[in-house]
């Protein structure tokens, strides 16, 4: 157990000094700041039925598609390329512990970047709210904010697990990043729209509709942001990420 926590600290420190981490952080904060300001600008001009935080988190997929590949693409692939994977697993450290250390280090950084956006409402309240027509209650809608961040934390388990999984499949960081982006795009975007096409509405049994539509990540976000905490979503994200991480450990064990 001590070796696991030592490796976890080591991996987290490596992420903090990695150039890709700072590229990801810069792109993430720049994009989310711009999106937040655009949303608030719209609220100051026309009334809306949903709070700004709900609209803000509906754009979560934009940073996820580039941030997760940047954070995870070199996690296992670079170890395999440099030949240090065999050396690390030659010790008493198990392949599962190795994968979990990679996973939790990236996941903690993922949460850290998202937690910075908690400052956005306070910055707006301090510097911009006195000069605008926005009301404080719009910025600090507790159910929407709490539910949305809970969704970010839960869905992040699966997103980071996908990145670790793709990194364990190859020795190339570039290929790992492309695979991660492709799987995330399919999971988040394609499952949202593909079943609305006329061809798919007639090509699969209607009895499968509830199971298929439950893969819609946006529906999970809508539930959480409205204060609806469905345990099925919790089971979905935890079980899916566990399956991917377990499969990743088997892949890297077979390489040794």
| pTM attached to this predicted model | 0.88
pLDDT per residue as tens digits for the range 99-113: 999 999 999 999 999
**Average pLDDT over every residue of 12-34:** 89
Grouping H, G, I as helix, E, B as strand and the rest as coil, residue 69 is: helix
Handedness of CA 223, 225, 227, 229 (dihedral sign): positive
The predicted pLDDT at position 104 comes to 95
pLDDT per residue as tens digits for the range 7-16: 888 888 888 8
Contacts of 217 (CB under 8 A, 6+ apart): 61, 155, 187, 188, 191, 192
Grouping H, G, I as helix, E, B as strand and the rest as coil, residue 222 is: helix
**Pair of tokens at residue 87:** 């050396």
**Pair of tokens at residue 148:** 């949305």
225 band by pLDDT with thresholds 50, 70 and 90: confident
**Average pLDDT over every residue of 157-171:** 94
Under 8 Å between Cβ of 138 and 44: no
Under 8 Å between Cβ of 162 and 179: no
DSSP 8-class letter at 186:
I
Contacts of 62 (CB under 8 A, 6+ apart): 31, 35
pLDDT above 70: residue 215: yes
**96 vs 227, higher pLDDT:** 96
Compute the distance between CA of residue 226 and CA of residue 88 in angstroms, rounded to an integer. Answer: 45
DSSP secondary structure string for all residues of 133-150: S--HHHHT-HHHHHHHHH
Compute the distance between CA of residue 187 and CA of residue 216 in angstroms, rounded to an integer. Answer: 8
Name the residue ranges covered by the structural domains of the chain: 2-255
């Amino acid at each position: 157990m001590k070796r696991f926590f030592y490796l976890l600290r080591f991996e987290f420190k490596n992420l903090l000094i990695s150039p890709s981490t700072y590229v990801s952080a810069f792109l993430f904060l720049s994009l989310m700041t711009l999106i937040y300001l655009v949303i608030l600008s719209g609220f100051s001009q026309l009334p809306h039925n949903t709070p700004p935080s709900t609209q803000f988190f509906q754009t979560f997929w934009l940073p996820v598609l580039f941030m997760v590949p940047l954070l995870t693409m070199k996690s296992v692939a670079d170890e395999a390329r440099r030949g240090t994977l065999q050396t690390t697993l030659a010790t008493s450290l198990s392949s599962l512990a190795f994968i979990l250390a990679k996973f939790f280090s990236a996941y903690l950084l993922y949460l850290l970047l998202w937690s910075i956006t908690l400052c956005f409402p306070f910055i707006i309240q301090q510097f911009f709210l006195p000069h605008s027509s926005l009301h404080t209650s719009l910025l600090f809608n507790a159910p929407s904010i709490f539910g949305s961040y809970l969704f970010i934390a839960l869905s992040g388990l699966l997103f980071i697990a996908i990145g670790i999984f793709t990194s364990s499949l190859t020795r190339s960081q570039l290929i790992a990043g492309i695979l991660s982006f492709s799987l995330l795009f399919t999971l988040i975007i394609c499952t949202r729209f593909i079943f609305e096409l006329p061809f798919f509405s007639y090509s699969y049994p209607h009895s499968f509709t509830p199971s298929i539509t439950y893969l819609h990540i946006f529906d999970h976000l809508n539930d959480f942001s409205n204060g609806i905490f469905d345990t099925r979503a919790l089971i979905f994200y935890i079980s899916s990420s566990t399956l991917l991480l377990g499969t990743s450990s088997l892949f890297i064990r077979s390489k040794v």
